[in-house]
Chain A
Amino acid sequence: GAVVSQHPSWVICKSGTSVKIECRSLDFQATTMFWYRQFPKQSLMLMATSNEGSKATYEQGVEKDKFLINHASLTLSTLTVTSAHPEDSSFYICSASTPRGPYEQYFGPGTRLTVT
């Protein structure tokens, strides 16, 4: 299957700081990437859909000014958590969709964010 990398794999930051997470599709071009968040023992929650060269589409209830998404190339999307708070501590996972049907999504290994 296709490979998606994510960096960093874990990060600890202080309240009020910003954290940038990178998601890369290593062996295919992904016009569309997705960002999810998962709390312990819960399902994945889609935060936003990231389209190369255009603005991200955010799900209801997700603050676009807090979770900044940039998809500057066909292989890279970034999520910046701005002014992080302890309640932002979670497992953030990106995925990249293959460019042709059936448009399978391949997931990065995730980033575990802890805000102190």
Chain B
Amino acid sequence: RKEVEQDPGPFNVPEGATVAFNCTYSNSASQSFFWYRQDCRKEPKLLMSVYSSGNEDGRFTAQLNRASQYISLLIRDSKLSDSATYLCVVAPYSSASKIIFGSGTRLSIRP
């Protein structure tokens, strides 16, 4: 079993749609959780950290369920510019140590 598993995608949705990504992780002791986005041939960019209380940033909402070891990302009112690969990332330790990437979910927004 992979340490971090994501929906395989690809997702192809119309502009304005709401899209949800899911992610599960295997290490119950994992400390920190993040969503990154990566555009083609570019570096990953931090979208948001994910907290147990859930957090929202504009059209983006992230949720963490530690009991189920599950992380989600919701994008509302999707824009063409949201087209990218979304990476679920888990940090096993509470220090500046290596992080574990999911394989990513590709999202395409069509006009």
**A68 interface contact, C-beta 8 A:** no
**B68 interface contact, C-beta 8 A:** no
User: Are A34 and B98 in touch, CB under 8 angstroms?
Assistant: yes
Interface string of A2-39 (1 = CB under 8 A from B): 00000000000000000000000000001110100000
Determine the main DSSP class of A at the interface with B.
loop
**B44 interface contact, C-beta 8 A:** yes
Nearest-neighbour CB distance to chain A for B26, whole angstroms, equals 16
Query: In the complex, A98→B91 CA distance in Å?
Result: 13
Query: In the complex, A102→B31 CA distance in Å?
Result: 8
Query: In the complex, A43→B19 CA distance in Å?
Result: 22
Query: In the complex, A103→B103 CA distance in Å?
Result: 21
User: Are B101 and A44 in touch, CB under 8 angstroms?
Assistant: yes
Inter-chain contacts of B44 with A (CB < 8 A)? 44, 93, 107
**A105 interface contact, C-beta 8 A:** yes
* Residues of B near any A CB (own CB < 8 A): 31-32, 34, 41-46, 49, 91, 94-99, 101, 103-104
* Residues of A near any B CB (own CB < 8 A): 1, 30-32, 34, 43-44, 46, 49, 91, 93, 97-99, 101-110, 112
